[in-house]
């Protein structure tokens, strides 16, 4: 099971109850109320096992720094968004509440700390995207790569100029992924998406989903975007980095994995399906989230606005009962696509379009800091050979036959320059 009692956690870690509670308060161990007894709490087994493996006593700075990159403490200061007390906050405002009546453009204005919301005016008309799995995201990758090859770097530019460019980058991505030929003048991004998919009745749910996906602090794709921008790269290059990272199966494709499972298990006994996946150790796509031990509020909000099919409801009940995990936002995106008969790539496309706002917000913040993100590696390979550990020769006269290679290393080979960094 994914959760254990306090006594089980104490016995496994060998610490006192007060220490276990301190782990929870510091975000090291996820905790939630026991559904069978609200006076008790349950603790996530993976977190408890990880804490049990730590050596007693003070840990060194290297160990602490290493943990920050794996669901650990924050690694960068940011004012864009945070997850606290089981809620997602956009610059101090509840994201779920904002998504009830806001457009993605309104959220962009908030997260970018801009004077005006970005509009789609001037976006080129394009054909609606293909309906295959790659679909809109493929077109978005091409559009961002094209801009990244031509746009100015962010380094040394004023915030106002970058915010203007952010509006253009967002419009470019929307135009590439969803087209504007069928959109009335002045329409919103959510209307553009619904029109591209010829599903106007889905627009309210699409609008809400886009707003809920706008940002989620330092997730993998956002961190990738910030790393790119920290080098001075263009805003489009930052979005391209985030978009490429999002396409990985461990980040943006969980809704498609869930849909494939649902299709394969159509008509089957869901309880038996869940038990079999547990027996095989296959995991449950679109369920659970380390930052939301009580359940993903984004998923709850979006599912409340949808007529969830019986098969999804039954699956959710069985996973919650047998595994102890609730549906997350990936589950809700899969349901949205199913309810409104959207293309197979729709969940990933909605994820990308909404999250572009957050990538740009973090890009603007990172560009303003002027800092290069460059972590060190904790080397675990074979030890360097002793014979090559000494200092280099200081003799400036190359030995016979060395001249051409020295000149090559000094400037003729980009690969050689890269190897020195």
Q: Is 289 a catalytic residue?
A: yes
**CB-CB contact of 181 with 361 (8 Å):** no
Q: How many CB atoms lie within 10 A of CB 117?
A: 17
Contacts 24+ apart (CB under 8 A), 57-66: 62/378, 65/375, 66/378
Q: What is the DSSP string of 163-194?
A: HHHHHHHHHHHHHHHH-STTSPTT--HHHHHH
**CB-CB contact of 243 with 354 (8 Å):** no
**CB-CB contact of 251 with 233 (8 Å):** no
Nearest to 93 by CA among 261, 214, 209: 214
Q: In Å, how far are 121, 162, 333, 358 from 105, measured between CA atoms?
A: 12, 17, 20, 12
Catalytic-role residue among 44, 330, 338, 362: 330
Catalytic-role residue among 251, 289, 345, 362: 289
Q: What angle do CA 286, 253, 285 make, to 5 degrees?
A: 25
> Measured on CA atoms in the order 194, 198, 204, 208, is the torsion positive or negative?
negative
Q: Which residues are catalytic?
A: 289, 330
């Amino acid at each position: 099971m994914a959760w254990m009692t306090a006594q089980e956690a104490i016995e496994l870690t060998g610490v006192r109850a007060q220490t276990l509670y301190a782990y929870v308060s510091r975000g090291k161990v996820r905790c939630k109320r026991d559904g069978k007894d609200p006076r008790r709490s349950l603790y996530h087994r993976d977190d408890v096992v990880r804490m049990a493996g730590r050596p007693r006593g003070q840990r060194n700075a290297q160990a602490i720094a290493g943990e920050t990159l794996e669901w650990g403490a924050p690694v960068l200061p940011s004012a864009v968004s945070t997850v606290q007390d089981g809620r997602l906050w956009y610059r101090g405002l509840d994201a779920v509440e904002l998504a009830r009546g806001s457009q993605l453009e309104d959220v962009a204005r908030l997260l970018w700390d801009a004077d005006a919301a970005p509009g789609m005016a001037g976006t080129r008309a394009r054909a609606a995207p293909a309906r295959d799995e790659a679909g809109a995201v493929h077109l978005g990758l091409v559009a961002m790569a094209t801009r990244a090859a031509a746009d100015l770097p962010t380094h040394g530019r004023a915030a106002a100029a970058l915010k203007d460019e952010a509006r253009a980058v967002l419009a470019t991505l929307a135009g590439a992924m969803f087209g504007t030929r069928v959109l009335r003048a002045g329409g919103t991004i959510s209307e553009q998406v619904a029109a591209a998919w010829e599903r106007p009745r889905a627009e309210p749910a699409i609008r809400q989903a886009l707003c809920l996906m706008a940002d989620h602090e330092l997730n993998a794709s956002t961190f990738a975007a910030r790393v790119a921008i920290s080098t001075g790269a263009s805003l489009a290059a930052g979005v391209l980095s985030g978009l490429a990272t999002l396409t990985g199966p461990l980040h943006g494709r969980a809704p498609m994995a869930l849909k494939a499972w649902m299709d394969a298990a159509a008509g089957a006994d869901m309880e038996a399906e869940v038990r079999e996946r547990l027996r095989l150790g296959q995991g449950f796509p679109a369920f659970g989230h380390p930052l939301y031990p009580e359940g993903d509020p984004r998923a709850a909000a979006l599912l409340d606005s949808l007529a969830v099919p019986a098969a999804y409801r039954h699956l959710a009940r069985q996973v919650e009962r047998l595994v102890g995990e609730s549906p997350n936002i990936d589950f809700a995106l899969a349901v949205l696509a199913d309810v409104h008969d959207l293309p197979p790539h729709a969940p990933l496309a909605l994820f990308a379009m909404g999250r572009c706002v957050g990538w740009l917000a973090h890009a603007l913040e990172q560009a303003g800091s002027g800092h290069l993100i460059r972590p060190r590696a904790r080397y675990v390979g074979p030890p360097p050979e002793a014979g090559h550990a000494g200092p280099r020769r200081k003799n400036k006269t190359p030995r016979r036959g060395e001249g051409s290679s020295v000149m090559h290393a000094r400037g003729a080979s980009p690969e050689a320059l890269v190897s020195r960094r």
